[in-house]
Structure 1
Amino acid sequence: MKQFIWMLCGIFVSGLLVGTLSACGAEQYSVCTITTEKPSAAQEESPALGEPPESGAEEPLEEPPAPSPKPGASITAEEDQARMLAYGKVLWDMYLLGLRPDGEELERATDLGPAEGNRFALVDLNGDGAEELIVCWDQACMAGMQGLVYTYDYPEEELRLVLSEFPALTFYENGTVTADWSHNQGWAGRFWPYTLYQYSPDSGVYEETGSVDAWDLECVEGDERLAAAFPGEADADGDGLVYYILTGEWYRNDRTPSGGLDGRLWDTDPVDGADLEDWLNAYTGGAEPLKIPYRHLEEVSISDLGYPRPEVTYPEPVG
């Protein structure tokens, strides 16, 4: 029944949207065609959508400037406006309907109504002068959380999903991204495992470079056999942590005493913290992480992008 209600709701809204959405796939790196129309003069002159913040409530972030050419890149005002309208449509669909551009349903904290509490940001991540759309969909159970990065190609009117990961993302200015694993239930202990991605201009997406896990000696305290198997010779700084840089095809070894663990937690040699830092710096160039200006996914912040709010009537909850 719930799915049927959402289908009706989606059909109703699709007839009211100014733009069109087509040619979408559900692949990891999907491409959707989004055609948008510039809002009419009446829409542009209408009051800002959404209720003003209540006294004492968190103030919305500063409104972004009007579209203009970006320094150092041939991004026209027309292109920039089309990009903002496309991103605005994407965010309205997520906020009001809980739908990704490819039609996949996002897990929501409430069954019906707007999806409050998630975050988004507009940042030029690859240095081409055009902002990408980052969505951190984290108001869901762990399995339903998503970190999504979209870019918009103009004049092709193509919205491309270039990264889909867990929303604990760290971006670097040279196009490198680390994504924390959703869980840390192994032996990493004080270290949180992550996967490293790097933006590829050739493919136009973030390509996986490798992952990093760790063995924290504190996780096996009390088990003399496992503690004895800890590869202390790799722990040059003596902090009880060694790291496993996992690239290409890698295999996770049995961690039980019956599995004959010999210190190779993964099928690769462990390294110390200095070696891990050198490996990461080889991709980040030693750059500091970017400070991403996230905004709350709410009506006032989505309206700033210029795409008109679709009229949505939610069906009454059953029962």
Structure 2
Amino acid sequence: MSGLVCGEGPNCGPLSWNYVDTQLLISAGAWGLFFILGQILAIKSRTSNIDEYRERMEIIVVKLHGSPRILVIELVMSVSSCVLFMFRTYHRSMNEMSFLCEAVACIFYFVLFIPNWAVKHFNGLSSGGFFMLTEGVLELFLLGSMAGLVIVSHEGKKTWFSPSFLASKHFLAAWKRALIAMKVNTSVPATQIMDILVVTIVKVYFMAMLMLTVENLGDPELLKSFTKDKWNTVSSVYFVLTTVTTVGFGDIVPVTSLGRLFTIVIIFGGTSWLAQIAYRGGQ
């Protein structure tokens, strides 16, 4: 396996678009292939009698989701993928053992993906299309990025980055199935708190790793023009949202009198708007 991945830190390239662009291209190619095949499958299911194949796939999905062994494997692999990603962000490296663990997990996720993909497309074009725009994007981006670890190089170096923190999605799905399998009563306050705590930790982890990736990656060429001026479309939307939600980081503030007057309007208008949302949500 030597030479397949970058190895130790000095041999690994930084997290940059020079690598991620190609990883995204590989992922987009895989996504496009599965999207087209899925649409063909959906059309075929409408025009031909393939109920037997549909039933087989549905049985496979039920067995996979109901298998305690698969459940444990999914939990263990998703946790290991998430932990390994955190270590890689510190060491900026990808050794053979880490790659092997990531590759096995990725193949496992892909095996789970295929029957779900088939069933969703058997159920129609809209069902399959929605599946591809949600779960399909994440799964195939992970698959394409793992392939990119071996294929992509820049200035003689390979990358350590693959978005294995996306495995947190698998952990949440497996966690929910585990609660059902163990017949845990989530209406009991203690188990409800435990469930909320676990889900919160995983979601915070996901958002934190996503922010870490985005900020270290930097802007692609397409967005660099937006950062030339302090006040641009992105920063203005960011300012309004942090203001109306009362977060107010203070990293960008209006310096003109007119801008400050508009900020007052935004504060009062935004807080009243949020209050209306909260009121309607509580009804």
Q: Report the TM-score, using the length of structure 1 for normalisation.
A: 0.26
Q: Larger helix proportion, structure 1 or 2?
A: 2
Q: Larger strand proportion, structure 1 or 2?
A: 1
Q: Report the TM-score, using the length of structure 2 for normalisation.
A: 0.28
Larger RCO (alpha carbons 8 Å, 6+ apart): 2
